[in-house]
Structure 1
Amino acid sequence: MPRTPLRTQLRSPLSIAAALAGAVSAAAMAQPAQAQEGQERCYGITRAGENLCENAFQGHSCAGQATLDFHGGDWVLVPAGTCEEMQGALEPYDGINQNPPA
């Protein structure tokens, strides 16, 4: 049986470890923004490209990917109790906010 050089033997496990580390870190960065204490998700008040995370209706899956202004599936975090004052909604809805914030 031919011998495999030590360098080749090490390369494979190191490559696998590097790939796994990259995948884990990419997954961690892709986690949706979570509301902190004193904040709430507010739907329908963001302009295109200003959303924090995924669209509630699977239109996109990342922050900044909204293509429509004031879509009811896109959200941002706001101080608790201020969403409805800004003409937003606390639950997602399909459509465009007809009374967007000024």
Structure 2
Amino acid sequence: MQKSNLAVTAAITGLMALGASALTATPAAAAETEMEKCYGVVKAGQNDCATKANSCAGTVKEDAKKDAFIVVPKGLCDRLAGGSKTSS
């Protein structure tokens, strides 16, 4: 039973590594993806940068803080509940 769990874990790890290398192997494709700041949807401790009340990334203590943002692919913020392209 343990050998099969090890095999499954190794297979999943290999697939994850393959996927990660595929993403990093095409910097041109990554550069083509436009990104934008999305305010008001951040979970506590997951903000991308400083806010008016916090000095660095990952320091917001509340969910959905209006001045905290994460960087998302362009167009996604409009589809997120509570998402805004401007800080309030």
Kindly state the Cα deviation for residue 84 of structure 1 after the two structures are TM-superposed: 1.5
Indicate yes or no: 2:37 matched with 1:41.
yes
Q: Which has the higher helix share?
A: 2
Matched to 2:53, the amino acid is G
Indicate yes or no: 2:86 matched with 1:91.
yes
In the other structure, the counterpart of 1:65 is 59
Secondary structure at 1:84's aligned position in 2?
Answer: helix
Number of aligned residue pairs: 56
In structure 2, list runs of 5 or more residues that go unmatched.
1-30
Take 2:78 and 2:41, find their aligned partners in 1: how far apart are those partners? Answer: 10
Kindly state the Cα deviation for residue 42 of structure 1 after the two structures are TM-superposed: 0.1
- Return structure 1 stretches of 4+ with deviation > 2 angstroms: none
Matched to 1:89, the amino acid is S
In the other structure, the counterpart of 1:52 is 48
Kindly state the Cα deviation for residue 61 of structure 1 after the two structures are TM-superposed: 1.5
Bigger-Rg structure (1/2)? 1
TM-score if structure 1 supplies the norm length?
Answer: 0.52
Secondary structure at 1:40's aligned position in 2?
Answer: strand
Kindly state the Cα deviation for residue 43 of structure 1 after the two structures are TM-superposed: 0.1
For residues 13-68 of structure 1, give each alpha carbon's deviation from its aligned partner in whole angstroms, at most 9, with x where no partner exists: xxxxxxxxxxxxxxxxxxxxxxx75000000001110000011xx21010000011
